Structure 1
Amino acid sequence: MTSHRFSHTGPLKGTIRVPGDKSISHRALMFAGLAVGQSRITGLLEGEDVLATAAAMRQLGAQIERDPEGAWTVYGAGVGSLLEPKSALDMGNSGTSTRLLMGLVASHAITATFTGDASLSGRPMKRVIDPLSMMGASIEASAGGTLPLMLRGASPAVPITYHLPVASAQVKSAVLLAGLNTPGITRVIEPVPTRDHTERMLTGFGARLEVGEENGTRIIAIRGEADLRPMDVTVPGDPSSAAFFMVAATLVPGSDLTILNVGLNPTRAGLLAVLRQMGADIAEVNPREVGGEPVADLRVRHAPLSGVDVDPALAPSMIDEFPVLFVAAALASGTTRTTGLEELRVKESDRLATMASALQLAGTRVEEHEDGLTIHGTGGEPLTGTREGTSVATRLDHRIAMSMAVAGLVSRTGVSVDDTAPINTSFPTFMGMLDEAAG
């Protein structure tokens, strides 16, 4: 374990470029790996999770190479032509890789075993197993519906209309990907809109996809036996990674930081809306569209924040950003209340319990509820920080580690984090970038 103490720094200044979006990086590799011909991907996030997707796609028959400049070339295997992997697909810590690849394999006549690390092996897979089984795949999971599991794909699979019981872009994407090689039309009905990178990018690769609305719900229909054509993908900067710097520059007095090329897909931009509601000064500079995704540079200046009641309807569009929002709330004037966040209990860690105890250790007044946290802010006064000899437990969760790093910047004595190694799953350059911005 690599522990580290994060402490008070000067203002965050200058210009930074965060790594490529994780969700889009996963999908770019998978969809290029299914297209017939050569695709080129630039700006790919080269964290452990995305590299697990690349390794799995190679085992399924795609040729994937990285050039010295950091561009990736993919020669796809073609929908319907995936190879049976010779060994288990090791998903590491990546829930996205696991759930999406299970969907991919489910409609091909191959068998694959999925394994993962201790944290991933505790995460629920039943939500994907259920619809994929309805389509004809046969899945033998460990007790409790977790990894390791073995999946035998069905060919031909059966198209289904699936009502998502829980708002999850990963479950939606798994069903749509299984639908790619299923005769007929596969439909997913979403009660609440979730991130739509799969729909945008599949359309770009040539899948026939229709999105409609009925009685206030979204219905996504995909026509199977698809032929995907290759395309070049420029991956926008990850809004979930930008989130840590948006909050840090907002909280540290004197900061004026520009974060380049941040993806602002409306299904991901909940944090931006909530921070602005709290009083943050974040301007969108040079808004543009890249590969079907809205992008802008974000100029963030220090601003005092006020506590708010966060609308639970925003939760799906900022589900990964709540840990760092809790840090912003800890420095705001007044009280911030969050509800409807049961989903945070089954992330890389139980993020409600883990953040509640981490912030309490750092000197915040927090109440934990079944579905959210109530945080009483300091009104801009620095947090006391963690006592010498005590450190925050990150529970193998990269977002807890980075959120508490931000808390350390606005504390009197600093915040010790028990393990910074998990940060490599999503943001390997985080520590260096933080030092540089606070220069």
Structure 2
Amino acid sequence: MGSHGTPEKMTAQSAGPLTGVAEVPGDKSISHRALILGALCVGETRISGLLEGQDVLDTARAMAAFGAGVTRHGPGDWSVDGVGVGGFAEPEDVIDCGNSGTGVRLIMGAMATCPISATFTGDASLRSRPMGRVTDPLALFGARAVGRAGGRLPMTIVGAEDPVPVDYATPVASAQVKSAVLLAGLNAPGRTVVTERVATRDHTERMLRGFGAEVAVEEVASGHRITLTGRPELKPQVIAVPRDPSSAAFPVCAALIVPGSDVLVPNIGLNPTRAGLFTTLQEMGADLSFENEREEGGEPVADLRARFSPDMKGIAVPPERAASMIDEYPILSVVAAFAEGATVMAGVHELRVKESDRIDAMATGLRACGVTVDETEDSFTVHGQGAGGVPGGAICAARLDHRIAMSFLICGMAAKRPVSVDDAGPIATSFPIFVPLMTGLGAVLTRDNG
């Protein structure tokens, strides 16, 4: 919803090719972690390119509430004067994490081994999402959690007075869970171990090493094992945040389905644990090219060019790829609607418990746009109509979910008839410049607030 609580209906329609340079925002995952780890140092961490979406701003306010000095010097230019590992102060008020599951779960982890209490809440979407997947392993350190039925926010975390190290195997492939446990392990003595069956995005491990923590990663019979040595003295850093591949997915996918398009996204993060969408699109026949490949701040980056690709074919996306592209399935399902044949997306039950039930949200909206979609509990299949073949003409429910809203607006840019979303307001949580960026490339987006 908008800042006054009223839905912001928005409509997209086809309007010729998309061309130009898409300067997408900084990576959201890295932005969250830079603020949190900066707060756990002693000294000043400088951050450039920070995403200034609502989710990240909520994390910045939370770090200030825990006692860190957080200062904005200019657009994307921030500093964090940290309090050291275990140095969080007890906040005076409730910590409101807005719409951000990443923010709340990582912050819970960071404070769970401090001898303080904190109460967390969020918007209606976040309050409906399960927190047990994080509070269960945090309890092993000695933390306690008291929340609403089903392990939902608002929730109070009572940090461990005498934390102990943990050896934990994650039951679901979740970078949020892994990261929460590793952040909690920072203030536990000895070694904390996390084992995951499938490797998830590794920004936390990379950044922990960059800040001076001892982190070992190895492949074992049970999967992927990360070992963190507790109670390091983290050193402040200078961090340049690469551009967010999850945000880049929207102009990239729009270019693939809008006739005549040619869009360049510079300085995009290509961490292999995040780049599954681009691999999948290439397998479908997308015209994607990577230029000026390099490494910045321990993260691989490149300039990505996307061109209209009328001959894309549906494929079966390997289930083991899900962890590297979990946030991109909504927009992939839109591209699949403009490909020939069926695109099968399996092993994606995690989509059921995101900001919304993303499988149901996309299936419902795509059907309203004239696309056949089959779904099971952990999969969905989109039966493509080919380039230009999606009828459109629907008003789709965003369900307070920024990625659902943006995905259907991209659909409208290539469909035969305009496509609307009932509320584009949530887009501000992760991609506040989405509308001016897309219109700058040639898209036509109109607001209708009734």
* TM bin (shorter chain): over 0.9
Partner of 2:332: 325
**Native 8 Å contact 1:93 1:425 kept in 2:** yes
Partner of 1:112: 118
Shift of 1:380: 1.0
| 1:103 alignment partner, SS class | helix
Which amino acid is 1:252 matched to?
Answer: V
Change in CA separation of 1:118 and 1:362 when aligned onto 2, cut-off 3 Å: same
Comparing 69-78 and 173-182, the one that deviates more = 69-78
List per-residue Cα deviations over 1:166-215 (Å, max 9, x = no partner): 11000000000000000110000011000000000010001111111211
Shift of 1:403: 0.4
Aligned equivalents of 1:13 and 1:117: distance in 2? 36
Aligned equivalents of 2:391 and 2:232: distance in 1? 57
Shift of 1:69: 4.4
Partner of 1:417: 421
List per-residue Cα deviations over 1:132-190 (Å, max 9, x = no partner): 00110011121101111111111320101001011100000000000000011000001
Is 1:152 matched with 2:158? yes
Partner of 2:175: 169
**Native 8 Å contact 2:22 2:251 kept in 1:** no
Of 364, 380, 383, 1:373 maps to 380
**Native 8 Å contact 2:25 2:247 kept in 1:** yes
| 1:377 alignment partner, SS class | strand
Which amino acid is 1:105 matched to?
Answer: M
Which amino acid is 1:372 matched to?
Answer: S
| 2:42 alignment partner, SS class | coil
Partner of 1:356: 363
Of 82, 89, 100, 2:95 maps to 89
Comparing 196-205 and 245-254, the one that deviates more = 245-254
Following TM superposition, the consecutive aligned residue runs of length 4 or more in structure 1 with deviations greater than 2 angstroms are none
Which amino acid is 1:436 matched to?
Answer: G
Shift of 1:257: 0.8
Of 216, 231, 244, 1:238 maps to 244
Which amino acid is 1:158 matched to?
Answer: V
Is 1:136 matched with 2:142? yes
**Native 8 Å contact 1:132 1:178 kept in 2:** yes
Within-5 A mapping of 1:278-427: 278-303=284-309, 304-387=311-394, 391-427=395-431
**Native 8 Å contact 1:156 1:183 kept in 2:** no
Shift of 1:370: 1.7
**Native 8 Å contact 2:11 2:412 kept in 1:** yes
Shift of 1:70: 3.3
Aligned equivalents of 1:379 and 1:190: distance in 2? 38
Shift of 1:335: 1.1
Partner of 2:446: none
Aligned equivalents of 1:5 and 1:107: distance in 2? 47
Which amino acid is 2:418 matched to?
Answer: G
| 1:282 alignment partner, SS class | strand
**Native 8 Å contact 2:96 2:122 kept in 1:** yes
Which amino acid is 1:232 matched to?
Answer: V
Aligned equivalents of 1:284 and 1:80: distance in 2? 42
**Native 8 Å contact 1:363 1:384 kept in 2:** yes
| 2:156 alignment partner, SS class | strand
List per-residue Cα deviations over 1:16-56 (Å, max 9, x = no partner): 21000000000000001111111110000000100110000
Count of residues paired in the alignment: 436
Of 264, 274, 280, 1:258 maps to 264
| 1:92 alignment partner, SS class | coil
Partner of 2:434: 430
Aligned equivalents of 2:368 and 2:198: distance in 1? 35
Aligned equivalents of 1:374 and 1:288: distance in 2? 36
TM-score by length of 1: 0.98
List per-residue Cα deviations over 1:54-89 (Å, max 9, x = no partner): 000001111011113431011111112111000111
Of 28, 39, 46, 1:33 maps to 39
List per-residue Cα deviations over 1:320-352 (Å, max 9, x = no partner): 000000000000011111111111000000000
**Native 8 Å contact 2:16 2:442 kept in 1:** yes
Aligned equivalents of 1:375 and 1:169: distance in 2? 27
Aligned equivalents of 2:136 and 2:86: distance in 1? 22
Shift of 1:216: 5.5
**Native 8 Å contact 2:338 2:390 kept in 1:** yes
Partner of 1:247: 253
**Native 8 Å contact 2:388 2:416 kept in 1:** no
| 2:124 alignment partner, SS class | coil
| 1:104 alignment partner, SS class | helix
Change in CA separation of 1:181 and 1:4 when aligned onto 2, cut-off 3 Å: same
Aligned equivalents of 1:310 and 1:121: distance in 2? 31
Runs of 5+ in structure 1 lacking a partner? none
Partner of 2:78: 72
Aligned equivalents of 2:108 and 2:276: distance in 1? 28
**Native 8 Å contact 1:282 1:298 kept in 2:** yes
User: RMSD over aligned Cα, in angstroms?
Assistant: 0.9
Aligned equivalents of 2:357 and 2:75: distance in 1? 38
TM-score by length of 2: 0.96
Is 1:179 matched with 2:185? yes
Which amino acid is 2:268 matched to?
Answer: V
